[in-house]
Structure 1
Amino acid sequence: MALAGAGEGGFSGQAVLQTRHPRAILTLGILLLFTILSYIDRMVLVLLIDPIKRDLLISDVQVSLLQGLAFALCFSLAGLPLGWLADRYSRRWIIYLGITAWSFATAAGGLASSFGELFLARFCVGVGEAALAPAAYTMLADLFPRRQLAAATGVLATGGAIGGGTAVLAGGLVVAWAEKAGVVALPLIGAVQPWQLVFLSFGIPGIIAAFLIFLAPETRRQAPTSPQPHAAAAPGFGRWLAANWLFVSTIVVGTGCLGILAYAVTNWTPAYLSRALGLDPREIGLTLGLVTLFAGIVGFAGSGVMIDWLTARNLRNATYSYLIASGVVSGSMAVAAFALAPNLTVVMICLGLFHMAIPFTTAMVAGAQAGTPRAYRGRMIAILNLSATLVGMIVGPSSVALLTDKVFMDPAKVGWSVAIVCGVAAPLAILIYLAGFRAAARAMDRVRESGE
């Protein structure tokens, strides 16, 4: 591995990676597994909406709070501090503690007997992704050279597709099995409902797998021992944000709009298939799970390859170009699936194209890495994840629920609610990225010229 300025066991402040670290692929595989587990624990709730509503006597709006606000509140409180820690301290320990915390919280959801208890459990699950994303993506930047970084980021981002698809596919089968088993008496816990058993089953693997992070190298950057060429000119994080406000604001707000689009669709598709098309949990798991899994993998992995390919051909600001295209295709496919499709086959085709186009994580992170100085990347990624999660998970699912409960006043009309939300969020994202296109390109040019 050729690494200018790297010391044993760590990296200097201005290290420039020429070839990938010997354990880069191993680390990528471990982080991919953690991302899969994160999304499984995060998305399994979408299959349990109707059983939870029945047992806890709650409305669609309260369900949307469990899907969005409960998770996003913790994420918003923990994301920036954890991003700051990822820039300074052991990323391995940050990831280990985050995974352990969210896994216990997922299992705790299986012990909830009221809306408040389940809300608290889902609140604590939020610490997982808040801890994982900034540390994981900044680790990749220290293990892979720039020319391979977007592809590596795309591979890691496929964990969202694999995890989400697995949550729906395996979750549908587990839900069907749990419902067939009925109420189960567990030692020390007592009687649990089928949906509670699902939460307990999905929380345990992460507790065991968390130890794998210590097979990865420690990539925390050490403070430079001698003055660096650009160190004196480096502004503080606040001054850098102010100097690059148009780049920062457009990538943050645009990401939030795409987050609304993504979470509106992913959180309410199972309910739509059940209420409007009459599918049972097993059928939803098999059809939607397979579509989400395979289309999402193509979308996440393909986005990284595409961005690297465009960048290698000197397309200026390939990341924003990709994000604009993503908004066009995913927005139109979402509206078609929920408002225009005449049957299940067409719905699934549209959803497949949606899940191929919507993965914005790779472009978002690649854009942030390319336009942000190395010392601030953990915090910048934390801000972007905060926007995608806080805005996306609160506004997306809740807007759909409010339209369904208060405007249409008919649970079977949830598809129209999703189509309306997506029809507004996608054009907004496109316009915002267009407004910041040149500012983002200039920020990326400055980082590249600095040699980072």
Structure 2
Amino acid sequence: MGPQTTATRLPETSPVTPAVSRGYAWLVFALSFGLLLSDYMSRQVLNAVFPQLKAEWLLSDSKLGSLSGIVALMVGVLTFPLSLLADRWGRAKSLVIAAVVWSLATLACAVSASYGQMFAGRFLVGVGEAAYGSVGIAVVLSVFPVRLRATLSGAFIAGGSFGSVLGVSVGGVIGQAYGWRWAFGVMGAIGLVLAAVYGFVVTDKRLGSAASKHSGQSGERPPLGPQLRRLFSSVSVICAYIGSGAQMFIMAAMLAWMPSFLNRYYDLPTAKAGLAAGGFALISGTGMILCGVVADRLSKGAAIRKWTVAIACSLASLVLLTTAFQLPTGPPQLIVLAAGTLVVGGASGPAAAMVARLTPADIAATAMATLTLANSLIGLAPGPAVTGMLADDWGLLGALKVVPLTALAGSVAFAIGRFSYEKDLRRMGLLPDPAFPTPEYAS
């Protein structure tokens, strides 16, 4: 093979030969994916019962938005430190504790007697859910071969939208039939059951070297300071964080306010509005997977094309969603709205791939936590809250006309990242040696 080729320097996040059986690996994925669904069901059930809470407690749209935004804010603030803690203390243990916390907090929301109590419960939901995405995907990637990494990552990211579908649609049905308290109660109970099963089946001891030694290091950890600096060591990786967060701003606003939009402007009752909004969330998750597949296929010969796909998705969401909210209510508006929803989250897969490509393997989970931090602080936390504040002054439709303009920031960030990408790779010594081309660098 010759002296140290680029292939031997390629950063990876999971072993070529996992330390667990194939059947157990898929069981880990199924249970991890199930908890991911529970995570987002507990987070998004609130949006399905917005109309009921507004009527019962006479809440303003900005207060409703804050109940949604506080969860994403806590996820953003705590993802990074809790991911570092999980890497050192035990990922499986950390996931079980997190699931128990967000499930009990969701049950507490079910018995809230005021806005303040509900806000406290939602705060704790955010604390429990903070590191699940980054730690969960680290566990999944550790038990599968490298060749499945893109597929599993795309499915895990899209799982958030599918969980949102279940949370909004099922929560809306339960809320209309039995009241909003039962909607929270059912979501909390589901989470507790899944946490118990996960804790029994998935343990750090069973994961063994697949979960805790995937980097090939034995015992000693490198200094933390130099590792953290490498998370922001290039212009292109920073642009990936910013671009992804900008698109998540739009997606979060859409997920949070779609039930209310359909309720107010299409006169749909709570249950039907929740089901219809769930359909839009499903379209969004499907778009994440499809855009990720397109990006992988187009970038087989040149990885830089992933940036092109991200730019295209961002600009398409800007045009389609801006157009949709200018149209009068009716089928044409819903069709264009669905098309915009399909591409609004499409940049998330390419962005995650670029972050993984531009950061070292030994801090892969922390890199994903940094991306989650950017998504939360730039997009998921302020998206619903800012939309609510704008809606108080301009009406919900007026606010939604403005929200898609955030895609301009996403497009510019991705364009700068694309321009800097190859230069950053050369500076970091990550471009392939022409004498030893490898397919990994093209993907």
1:351 corresponding residue in structure 2: 337
Distance 2:74 2:308 in 1: 32
Kindly report which structure 2 residues correspond to 1:30-429, keeping only aligned pairs within 5 A, or say none.
Answer: 30-68=31-69, 70-178=70-178, 194-214=179-199, 215-216=201-202, 217-218=206-207, 219-221=211-213, 224-225=217-218, 236-241=226-231, 243-244=233-234, 246-293=235-282, 295-311=283-299, 313-340=300-327, 342-359=328-345, 360-406=347-393, 408=394, 413-423=395-405, 425-429=406-410
Deviations 1:373-430 (A, max 9, x none): 0122222211211121222133222222222212x2xxxx31221121212x001100
Query: Is the partner of 1:337 in helix, strand or coil?
Result: helix
User: Contact between 2:134 and 2:366, CA under 8 Å: does it hold in 1?
Assistant: yes
Amino acid at match of 2:195: A
CA change 1:49–1:166 in 2 (3 A) is same
Query: Is the partner of 2:113 in helix, strand or coil?
Result: coil
Distance 1:63 1:427 in 2: 27
Distance 2:421 2:389 in 1: 35
Amino acid at match of 1:351: L
Deviations 1:115-165 (A, max 9, x none): 111111111111233221111222233233443211111112231221111
User: Contact between 2:107 and 2:185, CA under 8 Å: does it hold in 1?
Assistant: yes
CA change 1:437–1:56 in 2 (3 A) is same
Give the aligned length: 411
Distance 2:420 2:198 in 1: 37
Distance 1:87 1:177 in 2: 43
Deviations 1:190-230 (A, max 9, x none): xxxx21221112111111101343434521127724999xx
Distance 1:203 1:284 in 2: 22
Where structure 1 has 5 or more consecutive residues not aligned to the other structure, the ranges are: 1-12, 179-193
User: Contact between 2:106 and 2:184, CA under 8 Å: does it hold in 1?
Assistant: yes
How many Å apart are 1:319 and its aligned residue? 3.5
2:28 corresponding residue in structure 1: 27
Deviations 1:21-46 (A, max 9, x none): 62332222222211111111111111
Farther-moved stretch of structure 1 (37-46 vs 440-449): 440-449
Amino acid at match of 1:304: G
Identity %: 24
User: Contact between 1:86 and 1:378, CA under 8 Å: does it hold in 2?
Assistant: no
Amino acid at match of 2:121: A
Deviations 1:265-295 (A, max 9, x none): 11111111111221111221333323432x2
Distance 1:110 1:337 in 2: 35
User: Contact between 1:82 and 1:134, CA under 8 Å: does it hold in 2?
Assistant: no
CA change 1:138–1:441 in 2 (3 A) is farther
Q: TM-score, normalised by structure 1?
A: 0.83
Amino acid at match of 2:48: L
User: Contact between 1:75 and 1:389, CA under 8 Å: does it hold in 2?
Assistant: yes
Amino acid at match of 1:419: K
Distance 1:433 1:250 in 2: 6
Amino acid at match of 2:306: T
The two structures, once aligned, show a CA RMSD in angstroms of 2.9
Farther-moved stretch of structure 1 (41-50 vs 316-325): 316-325
Amino acid at match of 2:412: L
Distance 1:32 1:16 in 2: 18
How many Å apart are 1:444 and its aligned residue? 5.8
1:8 corresponding residue in structure 2: none
How many Å apart are 1:301 and its aligned residue? 2.5
CA change 1:51–1:225 in 2 (3 A) is closer
Distance 2:430 2:33 in 1: 27
Query: Is the partner of 1:390 in helix, strand or coil?
Result: helix
Distance 1:145 1:47 in 2: 39
Distance 2:348 2:120 in 1: 27
Distance 2:386 2:374 in 1: 16
How many Å apart are 1:335 and its aligned residue? 1.7
Q: TM-score, normalised by structure 2?
A: 0.84
Amino acid at match of 2:411: I
Distance 1:160 1:227 in 2: 34
How many Å apart are 1:370 and its aligned residue? 1.8
